[in-house]
Every structure is written in structure tokens, then in C-alpha cells.
């Protein structure tokens, strides 16, 4: 049965939060606040936080900067995963991935379906790895952020979670670079 292995020590991660929105400010970024609160409550650190407009090059630039920053372990974004013309977060994320984590989207939709039914089909939540950094793109509502964090990320970003988790494979994410 999956769960926390109390014989293992918790390893706090440095997590950057990116809000993608043409309208949000730091004063009314409820989804970013939801993520930041949950990250800190779990024992991790919010290492950076930004708001960028729905603009693929600006999203990509923010991601690349955090991927290059060796102190950032994980980036979680909120917003821009829908179907409208301005929703370009998945395209920006996929353009920087070394590998996509297909199961993230599938599991997010399963969890979301239990809450909002078939409306989950309008989300293009995505995840991947780039430069040894985990990247997760969630929809732009506090409810979706809660679903993504509470249902998936709180477990997968906890080294104690068994039978496996993302933290324990972090040292091996870039082992392909060691091969010649």
C-alpha cells in the first residue's frame, strides 16, 4: 500500500511558482498563493515566484532561467493550460522538456474528473523534466492547484513516499550526460 515511510528523512525541495496570466497581480494571485501555502505546509521552500503574461517566449524564458538555476529543484506553474488562443503554457513547457511525464496529465485528469466531471477535458495539464528540474503545469484555478498538489505532487515530491517518488530519482535525471 502506498504511503509515508517514517524510517526515511524528509528532504525539503526548492520549488519555484510561476503564475501565467494576463490579468493577475501579486495582490490577487489566488492560485499562486494556494500553491505557495501548500508547498510551505509540506515542508518545502518557495525558492522563487513570478507572474508572466500568456506569452510563449516569456514563459519559456522563465522556465529556462529556473532550469539553469542549480538551486531550483521543481517548477510548478498555474494558468494558461486551456484551449483559448492565449493559452500557450503547454507549448512553452513542451518546448523545453528533455522528457515528458505522460502519467501526470492522465492522473491529474482522473482526479479532476471526480471533482468537475467532463469539464476536465478542457485542461492541458502537463509535466516533464528539463536539465534535472521537474516541471509541472497546472490549470489556473485554486481548485485545480489543490487537486494537482494534494492528489499528486505532495506525495511525489516527498522522499518518504513509497513505493517510489520523484525525489529519489533526482540524482539520476541527468546521468545520460555522464555517458560518452
How confident is the model over 94-134, as pLDDT tens digits?
A: 999 999 999 999 999 999 999 999 999 999 999 999 999 99
| Domains of the chain, start order | 11-170 (3.40.980.10)
What integer pLDDT is reported at residue 147 of this predicted model?
A: 97
Separation of first and last alpha carbons in the chain: 39
- Whether 179 shows a pLDDT value over 60: the answer reads no
Instruction: Please give the model's pTM, rounded to 2 decimal places.
Output: 0.96
How far is residue 61's CA from residue 78's CA, in Å, rounded to a whole number? 16
Mean pLDDT for all residues in the chain? 96
pLDDT of 180 strictly over 60: no
Assign 18 a pLDDT band (cuts: 50, 70, 90): very high
Average pLDDT of the residues in 62-89 = 97
Q: Nearest CA to 35 among 53, 64, 15?
A: 15
pLDDT at 85 over 70: yes
ω before 32 within 30° of 0 (cis)? no
CB 126 within 8 A of CB 93: yes
Q: How far is CA 62 from CA 132, 159, 169, in A?
A: 16, 27, 24
Instruction: Quickly state the pLDDT bin for 177 (edges 50, 70, 90).
Output: confident
Average of per-residue pLDDT across 50-73? 98
Amino acid at each position: 500500500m502506498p504511503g509515508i515511510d517514517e524510517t526515511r528523512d524528509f528532504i525539503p525541495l526548492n520549488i519555484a511558482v510561476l503564475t501565467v496570466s494576463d490579468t493577475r497581480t501579486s495582490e490577487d494571485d489566488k492560485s499562486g498563493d494556494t500553491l505557495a501555502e501548500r508547498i510551505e505546509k509540506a515542508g518545502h521552500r518557495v525558492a522563487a515566484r513570478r507572474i508572466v503574461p500568456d506569452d510563449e517566449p516569456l514563459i519559456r524564458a522563465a522556465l529556462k532561467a529556473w532550469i539553469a538555476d542549480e538551486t531550483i529543484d521543481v517548477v510548478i506553474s498555474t494558468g494558461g493550460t486551456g484551449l483559448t488562443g492565449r493559452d500557450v503554457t503547454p507549448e512553452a513547457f513542451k518546448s523545453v522538456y528533455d522528457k515528458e511525464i505522460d502519467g501526470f496529465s492522465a492522473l491529474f485528469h482522473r482526479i479532476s474528473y471526480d471533482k468537475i466531471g467532463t469539464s476536465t477535458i478542457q485542461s492541458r495539464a502537463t509535466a516533464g523534466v528539463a536539465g534535472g528540474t521537474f516541471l509541472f503545469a497546472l490549470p489556473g484555478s485554486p481548485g485545480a492547484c489543490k487537486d494537482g498538489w494534494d492528489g499528486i505532487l505532495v506525495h511525489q515530491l516527498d522522499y518518504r513516499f513509497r513505493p517510489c517518488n520523484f525525489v529519489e530519482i533526482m540524482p539520476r535525471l541527468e546521468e545520460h550526460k555522464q555517458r560518452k
